[in-house]
Amino acid sequence: MNLRSRPTMIVKAFGLAAWIAGAGVTLTAASGDAHGLSQSAVEIARPFGFPVTNSMAVTWIVALGLILFAQVATRTMKQVPDGLQNFAEWLVGSLYGFLEGIIGPHLVRRTFWFFGTIFIFILAANWVGLIPGVGSIGWGHNTPDGFRLDEPFFRGANADVNLTLAMALVFFACWIVWGLREIGPMGFVKELFAPKGDSTGALRILLIAVFIAAGCLEVVSILFRPISLSFRLYGNIFAGETMLETMARVPRIGWLVQIPFYFMELLVGLVQALVFMLLTAVFTLLICQHHGSPVAAAHE
pLDDT at residue 295, as a whole number: 43
Domains held by the chain: number? 1
pLDDT at residue 196, as a whole number: 73
pLDDT at residue 290, as a whole number: 57
Per-residue pLDDT of the chain (300 residues; tens, 9 = 90+): 554 444 444 444 444 444 444 434 333 333 334 456 777 788 888 888 888 888 999 999 999 999 999 999 988 888 888 889 999 999 999 999 999 999 999 999 999 999 999 999 999 999 999 988 887 787 877 777 767 777 788 888 999 999 999 999 999 999 999 999 988 888 888 888 877 767 677 777 888 888 888 888 988 989 999 999 999 999 999 999 888 888 877 888 877 888 888 899 999 999 999 999 999 999 999 988 754 444 444 444
Sign of the alpha-carbon torsion through 46, 50, 55, 56: negative
Q: Are 288 and 107 in contact (CB under 8 A)?
A: yes
Closest CA to 248 of 130, 139, 142, 158: 130
Closest CA to 23 of 75, 76, 60, 70: 60
Q: Are 73 and 2 in contact (CB under 8 A)?
A: no
Please classify residue 274 by burial: count the beta carbons closer than 10 Å to its beta carbon, then call 0-12 exposed, 13-18 middle and 19+ buried. middle
Can you tell me the distance from the alpha carbon of 216 to that of 207, in angstroms, rounded to the nearest whole number? 14
pLDDT at residue 89, as a whole number: 93
pLDDT at residue 149, as a whole number: 76
Predicted structure pTM score: 0.80
Can you tell me the distance from the alpha carbon of 164 to that of 235, in angstroms, rounded to the nearest whole number? 10
Can you tell me the distance from the alpha carbon of 95 to that of 72, in angstroms, rounded to the nearest whole number? 20
pLDDT at residue 224, as a whole number: 92
pLDDT at residue 194, as a whole number: 77
CA distances from 151 to 9, 22, 33, 237 (A): 36, 19, 12, 19
DSSP 133: T
Report the number of secondary-structure helices (H) and strands (E) in the chain.
Answer: 7, 4
Domain that includes residue 75, residue range? 5-299
Beta bridge partners of 263: none
Q: Are 157 and 57 in contact (CB under 8 A)?
A: no
pLDDT at residue 36, as a whole number: 60
Neighbouring C-beta atoms of residue 94, cutoff 10 Å: 10
